A = this chain, B = another copy of it.
Amino acid sequence: MALFVQKYGGTSVADIKRINNVAERVLKTYKEGHDVVVVLSAMAGETDRLLSLAKDAATWRSAKRERDVLVSTGEQTTVALLAMVLASMGYKACSLLGFQAGIKTDSSHGNARIVSIETDRIKELLEQRNIVVIAGFQGINPEGDITTLGRGGSDTSAVAIASALKADVCEIYTDVNGIYTADPNICRKARKLDSVSYDEMLNMSSLGARILQIRSVTFAKKYNVPLNVRSSFSEEEGTMVVSEINNPGMERLLVSAITHSKDEVRVTIEGVPDEPGMAGKIFTELSEKSISVDMIIQNTRAGEATDLTFTVDMENFEQAFEIGRKTVKEINAKNIFYDKNIAKVSVIGIGMKENAGVASKVFNALAKENINILMISTSEIRISCVIEEKYVELAVRVLHTTFGLDAE
């Protein structure tokens, strides 16, 4: 007998019919004799509806605490409905909201961190053979106020609960079958991966983030919670996200996936005076506004003004450009401009650590197709290239083939 934590996303609980489908899934595991803790998101679209209500009512800053009271109703609704459906099928089920499940967080409303989980009530319910249905995304702070964990926080809830309960596995049910070697929409030969490491998953920003909140993967890595990403709409086995250390038998391909993102903008500041601290100024301000900069290039010619280029998410672009424009004046730089017609292609794999040849393989493969590399950044297990947007699909397919990922 094992303990399963199963997390179902918004599309899986979008209406009563789908909630019935979730109930069937849950019962399949439960009837095999296992303990099941279910963690739910709000119905697809519901959180957005509530946020737009909140927007009509007040400015964001004035009422963060109340915004959490409002949006937490989304998960409250789905957990009650699933527990009802299970009960009407004749099974023992009990919903728990954040405060009832003992999910203690800090007081950072809208983006709270889980501090601890007091599992007494969950364990007691499990001992009585209840299916425990917990509202994701929410917790309670030391003052007894409702907090929420930020976008996609239900994944983090599930992982934290799995960790606290020492669950055998944390299954993340979503609307895709697992993690693929590339986006199947642009690369027909993409394959589903049986497993990836936490680190690879963390580096698959574009492929992964749509499926699994990055923060939950960090959490899973830290507490070594085995994740299984799978679809609630099919019976197919998903992808295991696990520690490479504890899984020596894991397939060790040089490269495990090719990811891409069209969601970035390149910003260039021309003629930054070559004085210490000039470049730091803009990045300090960006980080104060929580705008993360992905890549940075600085072309310094001794004694002369330099050019500074960096990329930011489309979402943060306007704010970042405004900050950039202000800084240009302050530091007496020459000019600032941007380019939205770029894309980022990344090659990801833990095998890279021990193989220096990956970078040159990437450059050669792209060069052969006359794809110009505009920017490069690398980590231990990732090489990312910024290229012209029009080449992105071609680049993904070329690299997918180059690194032997194509399905037969």
Chain A interface residues toward B at CB < 8 A: 16, 19, 50, 53-54, 56-59, 62-63, 65-67, 69-70, 72-73, 76-77, 79-81, 83-85, 87-88, 90, 93-95, 97, 99-100, 121, 144-146
Contacts and interface: CB of A to CB of B under 8 A. Distances in A.
Contact of A62 (B56, B88, B144): B88
One complex includes copies of this chain to the number of 2
Contacts of A146: 97
B69 A76 contact: yes
Given A70-B77, A73-B76, A84 B63 contact: yes
Contacts of A69: 76, 79-80, 83, 95, 97
Contacts of A19: 57
Contact of A58 (B76, B88, B94): B88
A37 to B, nearest CB: 16
B66 A83 contact: yes
B76 A63 contact: no
Contacts of A97: 69, 146
A130 B70 CA distance: 19
Contacts of A63: 83-84, 87-88
A317 to B, nearest CB: 27
18 contacts: A53-B77, A54-B81, A57-B85, A58-B84, A58-B85, A62-B90, A63-B84, A63-B88, A65-B94, A65-B95, A66-B81, A66-B93, A67-B80, A69-B80, A70-B80, A73-B76, A73-B77, A121-B144
Given A16-B53, A16-B57, A53-B16, A81 B88 contact: no
A67 B63 CA distance: 29
A70 B87 CA distance: 14
A145 B63 CA distance: 27
A146 B19 CA distance: 22
Contacts of A50: 77
Contacts of A72: 76
Given A53-B81, A62-B87, 10 more contacts: A19-B57, A58-B88, A62-B84, A63-B87, A66-B80, A66-B87, A66-B95, A69-B95, A70-B76, A70-B84
Nearest to A19: B57
Nearest to A76: B73
B73 A88 contact: no
A59 B77 contact: no
A73 B78 CA distance: 11
A109 to B, nearest CB: 12
Given A66-B80, A76-B76, A80-B69, A87 B100 contact: no
Given A73-B76, A77-B73, A97-B69, A56 B88 contact: no
A84 B99 contact: no
Closest 8 A/B residue pairs (Cβ):
A58-B88, A58-B84, A70-B80, A69-B80, A63-B84, A73-B73, A57-B84, A63-B87
